[in-house]
Amino acid sequence: MAKNHMPVAHFGVRPDDVRADCAPPKALDKWQPEIRALATEGSDDPLVIDVMDVIGESWDGYGVTARRVGALLRNAGDQDVVVNINSPGGDVFEGLAIYNLLRSHKGDVTVRVVGLAASAASVIAMAGDRIEIARAGFLMIHNTWVMAVGDRNDLGTIAGQLAAFDDVMAELYALRTKMDAAAIGQMMDRETWISGKSAIDQGFADQLLPSDLIGINEQARAEAPKMKNLAKMDAAMARGGLPRSERRGLLKEVTSTPSAADDGMPRAAESLVDLMGWAKSTLAKMEN
């Protein structure tokens, strides 16, 4: 079974004082969670893994994690795998771990970018023996973002660690595309968005995805604005330094449905307004 000779990514362990960032604001804006890959029929179909959420555990306990992908691959044995991606990205450590799991899988791995593969999701896409992308799909590559705490010596060390992670990702993109790693690094420096046809022309993908493999989930379409706003608030709070447990508690509180006898509705509504205002202010500062 032919493989594309992409290597396992050696990125070390997660530093204790570094917290990987959530999906970038621009990626969350462009993400369309309602886009889905249509199911195919047949007894010989490969195992399908849907990467349709942020990378890493999200505030609501979902998200795409290496643990979940690893469990699916273990159950698959030597079975071929199709990975459908529509994700704004997320945790770079989880993305690299999922990439390594897919690269180590004994069966053939086909990646289908049905919508957006941004940030950490674009790293996962590179694990495919064959990469297909929608004509209206996008890849986005950029440098690693983190939240870090410490003095100038600590931050200097963390900056060096980030450079190492960026080098690993640039090497993966370069090996796939046959482009120079330095040129890839410049693309990452300026946060580059790559459309479907351009992805093929530059070597990030092998072919366009047949249009009949993409569908729209109407329930997800209706919930998309809420999903994206909550993800943006989670990202803003992460950049503001709130731990994941606190972010999860706040978002669950403001999104919970009160009972008819619950007189705390005004307070919940006020909390949501305050939280959204704070999140928008933090995002604006981060983007400027």
Show me where the domains of the chain are located.
18-218, 219-287
Rounded CA separation 41/153 (Å): 56
Percentage of residues in the chain having pLDDT higher than 90: 47
Q: Is 82 exposed, middle or buried (0-12, 13-18, 19+ CB in 10 A)?
A: buried
Mean pLDDT of 180-197: 96
Percentage of residues in the chain having pLDDT higher than 70: 74
**Most confident residue range from 38-42, 265-269, 271-275:** 38-42
Rounded CA separation 23/117 (Å): 11
Cβ contact 196:223 at 8 Å: no
> What pTM value is reported for the model?
0.78
Provide the b/e sequence for 38-53 (b: ≥16 CB within 10 Å).
Answer: eeeeeeeebbebebbb
Cβ atoms within 10 Å, residue 103: 20
Provide the b/e sequence for 156-177 (b: ≥16 CB within 10 Å).
Answer: eebeebbeebbebbbbbbbbbb
- Looking at domain 18-218, which of 3.90.226.10, 3.40.50.10470, 2.120.10.30, 3.40.50.720 is its CATH number? 3.90.226.10
Q: Could you identify the residue written with the tokens 């698959």?
A: 76
